[in-house]
Amino acid sequence: MSRRPVTAEQARALVPAFGLHAARVEPLGRGLINDTFAVDDDDGARFVLQRVHPVFDPRIHLNIAAVTEHLARRGLITPRLVPSREGRPWIEHEGEAWRLMTRVEGVSLDVVREPEQARAAAELLGRFHSALGDLDHEFVGLRQGVHDTPAHLRRLTEAVAEHQGHRLWAEVEPLARAIVARAERLPPLSGLRARPVHGDPKLDNVLFEAAQGPGSQRARCWIDLDTVAPMPLAVELGDAWRSWCNPRGENDARARFDLEIYRASLGGYRQGCTLPIDAAEREALLHGVEWITLELSARFAADALQERYFGWDRERFAAAGEHNLLRARGQWALHEAVLAVRAERRAALHEAWAGS
């Protein structure tokens, strides 16, 4: 899913469409989806300019506008869309969507290095969910089937059937069989209430205070809001725990699930979340991370054979298939680790919601 590169000078030429005169434009971050640039205007104000990946319908900016306006009214720090000269939340240039947002200062982290970071991120996520609890907005332009696990499992089965001549087939096929068999034994996530959530609560999508010392672990705001959408809390928090509680990250097959980080995040979320969460939602929280790790393992395993979706590290791997196979094995190892501590996770959930 590669696109033609875009330079800072090309990006600078689009800034006047938003009514600004840029003094400086330079690449920002290393995101795998959108192309991102830091923009400083002549008055010293700071912004973020992004070329939005075509996987996203440009109408998602209507969702972002509604969500960020609601968050701001509730007192949460959030980036805001800067309208174009025509008053639109994005512009079209050569068939691609571009947006400008206010820049929130802070630092992002790749992995949780201490439980307090997970506690802070989870508390802010709880506040984020609570602030959106009464949002009256019809979400549009959403990606379909993002967490449709049965569909991902079908695609994995189809990939194994269609790519029997692939160099990695003999390694992927037994893993695929194990993934599909496990899915048949997990408790289903069905009939759950969909709530407005972030949609991609990995750690590097939250900004922390940049200062060092006491208070430096405070989480400031959630960014990368392309994925805001209604979905069950079990899916949202399952994805968060998949990201936060594996200190080794996605590119290591020796994944583990850190219970100390998990417990800290539960405490933080309970502190920040004021939503009434019913018994069915709480029970589903136990199994959400089990499903998410299995789903992602299936997606990586399928693309190990198809080699057409996920980006890959050309310095470490011979081809995309090898990188995706490692990722698939890592998520499978994480799934196994999650299942191994189900009893401990259940006890932590009960303790967090004791008296509710």
pLDDT at 1 exceeding the cut of 70: no
Phi, psi (deg, nearest 5) at residue 211 = -70, 155
Determine the pLDDT at residue 52.
Answer: 95
Four-point Cα dihedral 336, 338, 340, 343, nearest 10: -160
Q: Average pLDDT, stretch 160-189?
A: 97
* Cα 222 from Cα 201, distance rounded (Å): 8
| Tokens 């509680």 sit on residue | 245
pLDDT at 213 exceeding the cut of 60: no
- Which of the four pLDDT bands, split at 50, 70 and 90, describes residue 210? confident
Q: What are the pLDDT digits (tens) for 280-326? A: 999 999 999 999 999 999 999 999 999 988 888 888 999 999 999 99
- Which of the four pLDDT bands, split at 50, 70 and 90, describes residue 356? low
Q: Where in the chain is the domain with CATH 3.90.1200.10?
A: 115-352
Q: What are the pLDDT digits (tens) for 47-86? A: 999 999 998 999 999 999 999 999 999 999 999 999 999 9
* Cα 277 from Cα 236, distance rounded (Å): 14
Which CATH class, in words, describes the domain spanning 8-102?
A: alpha beta
* Cα 152 from Cα 3, distance rounded (Å): 25
Determine the pLDDT at residue 144.
Answer: 87
Give the angle 205-138-62 at the CA atoms, nearest 5°.
55
Instruction: Print burial letters for 336-355: b (CB count within 10 Å at least 16), e (below 16).
Output: bbbbebeeebeebbeebeee
In percent, the amount of the chain with pLDDT more than 70 equals 96
Q: Where in the chain is the domain with CATH 3.30.200.20?
A: 8-102
- Which of the four pLDDT bands, split at 50, 70 and 90, describes residue 251? confident
Determine the pLDDT at residue 290.
Answer: 98
Phi, psi (deg, nearest 5) at residue 219 = -80, 135
Q: How far is CA 77 from CA 106, 137, 208, in A?
A: 11, 20, 12
Q: Which two tokens stand for residue 336?
A: 């196994």
Q: Kindly report the pTM of this predicted structure.
A: 0.93
pLDDT at 2 exceeding the cut of 70: no
Q: What are the pLDDT digits (tens) for 125-137? A: 999 999 999 999 9
pLDDT at 341 exceeding the cut of 90: yes
Determine the pLDDT at residue 9.
Answer: 93
- Which of 255, 257, 258, 256 has the alpha carbon at shortest distance from 326? 255
Determine the pLDDT at residue 150.
Answer: 95
pLDDT at 183 exceeding the cut of 70: yes
Q: Average pLDDT, stretch 207-234?
A: 86
Determine the pLDDT at residue 311.
Answer: 80
Q: What CATH architecture is 115-352? A: Alpha-Beta Complex (3.90)
Q: What are the pLDDT digits (tens) for 89-101? A: 999 999 999 999 9
In percent, the amount of the chain with pLDDT more than 90 equals 83
